[in-house]
Amino acid sequence: MIYKVAIIGYGYWGPKLARNFHNSNNFKIQYIIDNSKKNLSKAKVDIPFCNLLTNYKSVKFNNIDLVVIATPTASHYRICKHLLSFTNVLVEKPLCLNSAQVNELEKIAKKNKKLLFVDYPFIFSGSINYIKKIIINNKYGKLKQIESYREQAPIRNDSDVIWDLGVHDISIFKYLLNSDPKILKSKKYKTLKIKKNDTAYINLEYKKNIKVFIKNSWISPDKIRLLKFKFNDAIIYCDENEPIYKIKIFTPKKELNNLYNLSIPEVDISEPLFNLTEYIAKCLRTKNNYIYKSKFNFCLTKTLEKI
Ligand SMILES: NC(=O)c1ccc[n+]([C@@H]2O[C@H](COP(=O)([O-])OP(=O)(O)OC[C@H]3O[C@@H](n4cnc5c(N)ncnc54)[C@H](O)[C@@H]3O)[C@@H](O)[C@H]2O)c1
């Protein structure tokens, strides 16, 4: 079956979603909707033969299988609430800016028997799933610490750096560790004269005493997306900026001398957004949205709220 999709929001991220749905054999894009005519003219070139509209309320979505919301974060709740009466919805991260709204949307989805997805792209990346297998199989002993450095991104004025970048870390850790953390400490700063905090340093503790440090910052000349996983028997780097060699495994030569052997395993480097489209197609077929079960969105939003 080929599922019909509509995409609302064709700014920075919308075109990337559109490209991946367009490239999937499971989907056909029927509508692209954006209230900017300039952005719609880009969509006309990128995705020919789909309907281009400026107002999502002018469409009855009953015969559309999935609507993708890639508008600014502050508008997600309102648009998603409207759409869940008609169809299944994929919303860009973060779903909403508070957990009460997430709870309400989840309830509406359940009542209307619709599936609600959120684009946390890294949980669909080959490298994060490689790390997940290592944790499950206990391959390098106990996981003791994780550090995340996530720097450089467009400055936003409707959400701060934690809701914008920290959401990636919190979704990755919830997916990998299957638990929610204690917040030990969090400090937020404005480096520039802007509306929202642009930099944050966060210390968390997950079950089994796993200590986590997160640095998020919009302000950086380099784009950094580096996670360091410190196990008993290895330190593993996961660098999503690397095109191919995303995972580096350092195993100590001798205890306490800080010299390591390095191995670089082969990992699935398919685009996470494409993997997300294929996951959604499977869920639409089976009606089983297993990753987002057990209040995944709600618990994750609660953690962001606490931070
Ligand atoms: N998953 C990721 O890694 C990732 C990366 C970047 C952005 N995002 C998320 O995607 C969302 C959009 O971010 P962006 O950087 O693309 O923003 P953007 O401002 O570049 O694009 C938003 C688009 O939505 C359109 N729009 C706004 N209100 C609308 C409405 N009511 N109806 C129709 N169109 C409307 C705007 O004209 C614009 O083209 C944000 O929530 C952001 O957090 C996610």
Containing structural domain, residue 68: 3-118+273-287
User: How many A from CA of 15 to the centre of ligand 1?
Assistant: 10
**pLDDT tens digits along 283-296:** 999 999 999 988 99
**pLDDT tens digits along 36-58:** 999 999 999 999 999 999 999 99
Mean pLDDT of the 261-278 span: 98
Share of residues in the chain with pLDDT > 90 (%): 97
pLDDT at 256: 74
Could you tell me if 132 and 265 lie in one domain?
Answer: yes
d(CA 60, CA 257): 65
Residues forming beta bridges with residue 290, ordered by sequence position: none
Whichever domain contains 16, its CATH number is: 3.40.50.720
Residue 190 tokens read as 């404005």
**pLDDT tens digits along 210-228:** 999 999 999 999 999 999 9
Model confidence at 61: pLDDT above 80 = yes
* Beta strands 247-252 and 235-239, pairing class: antiparallel
Q: Is 302 within a domain?
A: no
Could you tell me if 251 and 147 lie in one domain?
Answer: yes
Whichever domain contains 145, its CATH number is: 3.30.360.10
Q: Is 299 within a domain?
A: no
pTM: 0.97
Pocket test for ligand 1, best of 34, 120, 124 (most atoms within 8 A of CB): 34
pLDDT band at 254 (very low <50, low <70, confident <90, very high): confident
Could you tell me if 260 and 281 lie in one domain?
Answer: no
My answer on whether omega of the bond before 243 falls inside 30° of 0, hence cis, is: no
Measured from CB, residues less than 6 Å from any atom of ligand 1 are 8-14, 33-36, 39, 56, 70-73, 75, 92-93, 119, 121, 154, 164
Q: Which atom of ligand 1 is nearest to the CA of 120?
A: 1
Please give the mean pLDDT across all residues of the chain. Answer: 97
